[in-house]
Amino acid sequence: MVAFRDDERGFTPLAGTGLLVGVVVLLLAIVGAAVFGLIDGVAPPDAEFEGQQENGTIVVVALGPEPVPAEELYVRGEDPDGNVQFGAWPGDGVVRPGDKVPVPNATGNENFDIVWEPVAFDNQETLGSYDGEDSAIDEWSEENGGSTPGGAVGV
């Protein structure tokens, strides 16, 4: 009969090595998934933007509810006339609900999206858009019969 061992180890060296290898493999799998883009690093902000017409110009308005860093915002689109240059959001800091940015040289026939692209990650989300075909600017003057576009009478 075998006598009881006088060993005080609670774990055999083989089991300890197996556990250590398992933990290392699990950590490498998680880090590898993050590095190769299988795990999204950041969620898009809960923010909405809209293109509006104000006094004959196109204005991009931040509707909120969350503020967004300006360096993560881009305006991407096309202008049939070629007069509007789209690109990074003008200015720096934080874009808060209610902030407005005019679109220089816009005539109303442009189509563009306001896109969020986080600095350190390779993903993007469209936060708003403007479709110029649905909302072209019409000229209004007293010479056009005194009525506004859409049929309302000017005051």
pLDDT at 1: 52
pLDDT at 139: 44
pLDDT averaged per 10 residues, the chain (length 155): 64 85 94 74 85 86 92 90 86 91 86 89 87 57 41 36
Q: DSSP assignment of the chain, as one string?
A: -PPPP----SS-HHHHHHHHHHHHHHHHHHHHHHHTTSS---PPPSEEEEEEEETTEEEEEEEEES-EEGGGEEEEEE-TTS----EEPSS-SEE-TT-EEE-TT--S--EEEEEE--TTSS--EEEEEEETTTS------GGGTSB-TTSPBP-
pLDDT at 85: 85
Q: What CATH number should be reported for the domain whose range is 47-131?
A: 2.60.40
pLDDT at 31: 87
Q: For residue 83, which of 105, 103, 101 has the smallest C-alpha distance? A: 105
Which two tokens mark 6?
């006088």
Q: What contacts 98, CB < 8 A, 6 or more positions away?
A: 61, 62, 64
pLDDT at 134: 60
Q: Is the pTM of this model over 0.85?
A: no
pLDDT at 7: 64
